[in-house]
Amino acid sequence: MTIHHILVIGSGSVGKRHLRNFSDLGCRVSAIDPRKDRLEEAAGEVTLEGSFQDLGEAIWKGGGFSGAVVASPPKFHVSQCIELAREGIPILLEKPVAKTLREALELNDALTEYPGTKLLLGYSYRWWPPLNDVRSRINSGVIGLPLHAKFVMSAHLADWHPWEHYKDFFMASRELGGGALLDESHFIDLMISFFGIPNEVFAVIENIGGLDIDTDDNVDIIASYRNGPRVTLHLDLFGRPHEKFISVTGETGTLGWSFEPNRIRLGRDMGQVWTDDEFTFERNEMFIETAKEFIGLLEGRTAPRCTLRDGINVLRVIEACRESASKGKIVTVGA
């Protein structure tokens, strides 16, 4: 059995999670971070084969990597992916692909020079079984034709990284690629995976939460489909208690999913009569499943379930939302 060597670029919150998970799955792991304290924290959690301050140093001194995880702030995603592709190293790219659609398309163009580059995109809710269950129940017609859907992701930024002040990590910085619209784009990805790319959006993108950050902290989107439901998405960085839920109402009932409580519910009556399915999955399981799929991709056993094209589609919707918010108008989602 091959023992893979995985390089994790960015040893912050999700980077350390990937280091632990790949290590638990039997891989050798190395880490990159410009901050020495982050590398020391990582070394305290897993056995590091190598520890580097940038990608150039890792490639020069380390080498022999079976794959790499890009878990740095979004500003660096595209340049790091291009460097990895040039070296022929398969990539697990954390979301979002980039800060802008233009940069994501640059990555797409650059990868044509390195045909066969393996890239798995980490919109991790794609690996959350109850959501896949909701998607198949909708498709099997359990609520009839979907007419309206609500997607809500609301979580106070100060609670995300209890070990540091929220102003000290990339989420507070527009330059580094923070903000609700980019970071909580998980739910834009899910909307697309449920219903496809919307034809038009109307969006409000603002900073209203008093967090004193230079990124957006409140996003409201109305997405319209020619042949699909009306969808509203609300994303914020100030909500307490945290809420992550999706509710889809069709001709014959409503199907609801929530992260906490971890359940799916189906209601078909006028009153509050619900049939609930409760689940016990832990959040880390979605990252473990992503890591397993990446290992499968390295070994040629699996095809990526979330691709660069999926990430580009999310950014197409994001750019349309930005244009809509700046013009105060409904905007067609571009090709």
Apex CA 234: angle with CA 229 and CA 238, to 5°?
Answer: 170
16 contacts 42 by C-beta, under 8 angstroms? yes
128 contacts 286 by C-beta, under 8 angstroms? yes
Distances (CA, A) of 131 to 34, 195, 264, 298: 36, 13, 9, 26
Least Å from the CB of residue 184 to ligand NAD: 9
15 contacts 8 by C-beta, under 8 angstroms? yes
Least Å from the CB of residue 92 to ligand NAD: 10
Return the number of the residue (5 or 38) whose C-beta is nearest ligand NAD: 38
Least Å from the CB of residue 332 to ligand NAD: 27
Residue 142, both tokens: 């359990």
Contact residues for ligand NAD, defined by CB under 6 A: 9-15, 32-35, 38, 71-74, 76, 94-95, 122, 124, 169-170, 183
Return the number of the residue (15 or 267) whose C-beta is nearest ligand NAD: 15
Residue nearest to ligand NAD (CB): 12
Least Å from the CB of residue 79 to ligand NAD: 8
Residue 53, both tokens: 């301050």
Return the number of the residue (236 or 267) whose C-beta is nearest ligand NAD: 236
Least Å from the CB of residue 118 to ligand NAD: 18
Closest-CA residue to 333 (of 318, 320, 323): 320
Return the number of the residue (170 or 187) whose C-beta is nearest ligand NAD: 170
Return the number of the residue (5 or 99) whose C-beta is nearest ligand NAD: 99
Closest-CA residue to 221 (of 322, 95, 310): 322
Q: Say whether 76 sits in a helix, a strand or coil.
A: helix
